[in-house]
Amino acid sequence: MEKQQVKKVYFAFLWHGFFLAITLSMLDMNTVFPTLINRLSQNKVIFALMLTITLGTPLIFNMLFSHYLRNKRDKKKYLLIGILMRSFSFLGMAVFTYLFGLTNPTLTILGFFFFLLTFSISAGFAGISYSDLVAKTIPESKARTLMYTYKQLISSVSGFVGGLIVTYIFSREIAFPANFSINLLIGFIGLFIATAGFWFLKEPQSVPQETKTEPFSMFIKRIPSILKSDKEFRRYILIENLSSFGMMIMPFYILFAKEILGVSDISIGVYLLFQISGAVFSNLIWGWVGKKQNAKSIVTFCILLGGFNPILAILLSNFAPGLFGIVFFLIGFTISGRKIGFEPYLLDITPSSSRIEYLGIRGSLNVLVVILPLIGALIIEGMGYIPAFILVSVVMIFTSILLMKSKKNELLDKLCNPS
């Protein structure tokens, strides 16, 4: 791959990552979004259902999308369509929040369900196309991991800019719902600009796996045989599912801080800056781990960190609210590591001829990420935050042990292949 071509490819993905990070800061799932929904309804189950839609819908549709896309030579256009659909979902949420946030919260919530569903379906469509485009334009494994590291570094910096914007908006005397509406409008603009990175990227054409597309039912029937024949892929599916427990609890930390520590909305931006600072700093660590070890090692460290953080949150709840920012600093560490580690780890173990299939199967079988937010909300509503936090820690530490054991093909083999 020529050096000039590498620069063009890197630029496209890094441009997208820069503006995407600003967009996502405007509706950060661990600070801004939980607070916004809490202003509309204090029922945690409603928030959990929205979170389930946001996280789970792309995965549910992944198998269908992968089946549809697997014989398409050009997938970039589907990526662009998906990104633009997500952008206009932000615009829809901004309008509904501004017009009905105070006068009709129920209608606003219903509108959010619709726009989040659109946002999430298009995310699944775009996500598969994005991963395939990465693999086709950056065929070398080390170069891919390096690109994800650069992207995460740039995204963290631009996310910090987004965090400053959020902090500024909430520190000013801008009343609800105008403050959140401005956030969402900025998100719409940022995501729209992010597509520009891909307009001029030349996509290598895929070679269709077959001239005639097989029926979707046949594709579904082949999944068990694919999993049975690929031990490493089975391990990946199990580990990613179990690691979803760490993701489950992240959006509840801000609600924990508001209810237990009594922090105000101004803390949203402050904690978001802690989170983004953790993501920025972590790139130095994850880059070193990826260079010295591999993507799988990054995943292992991320899972361990995800098991430590809930216990830390419990301990820090006994001190001043400012110290609780450490929890969000480590959230940034974990999120950054997951983005750098999981995707390259998957691309490293998937055969190029079946990449789209594997991406679809992986997404649709990551079932726990769909139901865990709701389970987490029910546990918190019924038993409180502490039991939920302890459960997450136990599962995450157990998962990290499984992943480390996988190098010796012991316990994980038995779980992945009990027969």
Helix H, strand E, coil C: the string for 179-195 is HHHHHHHHHHHHHHHHC
Predicted local confidence at residue 41, as pLDDT? 86
Please spell the DSSP secondary structure of 14-78, one letter per residue: HHHHHHHHHHHHHT-TTTHHHHHHHHH---HHHHHHHHHHHHHHHHHHHHHHHHHHTT-S--HHH
CA–CA distance, 208 with 194 (Å, rounded to integer): 29
The residue type found at 325 is G
User: What's residue 131's pLDDT?
Assistant: 78
First to last CA, the chain: 44
Report d(CA 21, CA 93) in Å as an integer.
Answer: 18
The verdict on whether omega for the bond into residue 204 sits within 30 degrees of 0, i.e. cis, is no
Cβ within 8 Å of residue 310, ≥6 positions away: 249, 388, 389, 390, 392, 393
Peptide bond into 387 cis (omega under 30): no
d(CA 376, CA 384): 10
pLDDT at 209: 53
The pLDDT of residue 408: 46
The answer to whether the CB of 162 falls within 8 A of the CB of 155 is no
Query: Given this model, what pLDDT does residue 411 score?
Result: 41
CA distance 65 to 342: 20
Which residues, 6+ apart, have CB-to-CB distance to 136 below 8 Å?
Answer: 203, 204, 206
Domains in the chain, ordered, with CATH?
A: 3-199+213-416 (1.20.1250.20)
Q: What is the pLDDT of residue 415?
A: 47
Both tokens of residue 195? 């597509």
pLDDT of residue 63: 65
Question: Which of 237, 241, 232, 239 shows the shortest CA–CA distance to 350?
Answer: 232
Cα separations in angstroms, 235 against 63, 123, 250, 311, 416: 19, 25, 24, 27, 6
pLDDT for 66 equals: 67
Closest CA to 300 of 235, 368, 243: 243
∠ CA 28-31-34, rounded to 5°: 95
Query: Mean pLDDT in runs of 10 for the chain (419 residues)?
Result: 71 89 88 89 85 75 67 76 89 95 94 90 78 78 76 83 90 88 93 85 65 64 79 84 85 90 84 88 75 76 90 92 92 84 79 73 74 86 91 90 63 49
Say which residues have a Cβ less than 8 Å from residue 156's Cβ, sequence separation at least 6.
21, 276, 279, 280, 282, 283, 332, 336
pLDDT of residue 344: 78
Nearest to 416, CA basis, from 290, 229, 218: 229
Rounded to an integer, what distance in angstroms lies between the CA atom of residue 325 and that of residue 272? 9
